[in-house]
Amino acid sequence: MGSPTTSLGTFGEVFREIRWVAVSDKITVIVGRIPETVGRILVIVGRILAKLVERTALEFAERNGLDLVTVVLPIVVGPFVCPNVPSSVYMGMAPIFGDQEQCKYLVSTYMVHIDDVASAHIFLLEHANAKGRYICSSIQTTIHDQVMEIKGYKGTNVSSMKLLNTGFKFKYGLGKMFDGAIQSCKEKGFL
C-alpha cells in the first residue's frame, strides 16, 4: 500500500517539505551572503512552502479525524542559549545592532517573548478544545515603539484573540523581550 495522498502529493512528499521548512530559518541567516534577489526568492519560497505544508497538514488532520494545532509565530525575541544570535532575535534587535537593512522590516511588526511561545504550546497541548491555527503574538509594535522601549518607555499591547479567548495569558511585554535578548547578546559577546 502506497503513502496516503494529500492535495500537495503523497504524505512522504509533505514530510520532506516539512523537514525543508524546519531548516528554512537558516535561509534568513545566509541571505546576507548571497545576491539580494536570490535571498529574497529563497525567503519567499520558504514562506510559501511553510503555508502549503501547514494547510496540507490541517487538511490531512481534518480528513482523518485528528486534532491538529498549529502555532503561528511573529518575530520571537528574548533570551537564548544557542551560541549564535537567532535570526528572529537579530531582526527584532536590528536597531540595537545598527542594521539599517533589517530595520526596514520593523516599521510595523508583531513580536512575542520566547517564554510566551513555550507557554502557548504547552497551554494548547493541555487545552481539550484546541484545534486549528493559533496566532501567538503579544505585541504589535513599530520601530519607534521599540526605540522608546529600549530607552525605558512602555510599548503598545495588542493581543491574539483566538489564543486569548481560550484563556491563555501572555506574561512578557516588549521590554522583557529585549531585556533577555540584550542580556544573552552581552553574555555571548555580540554586544
Query: Which active-site residues does the annotation give?
Result: 51
Angstrom distances, CA of residue 169 to CA of 30, 36, 49, 137 = 35, 39, 30, 11
Single-letter residue type at 181: A
Rounded CA separation 66/49 (Å): 22
> Partners of 9 in the beta sheet?
6
Enumerate residues 6+ apart whose C-beta is below 8 A from 98: none
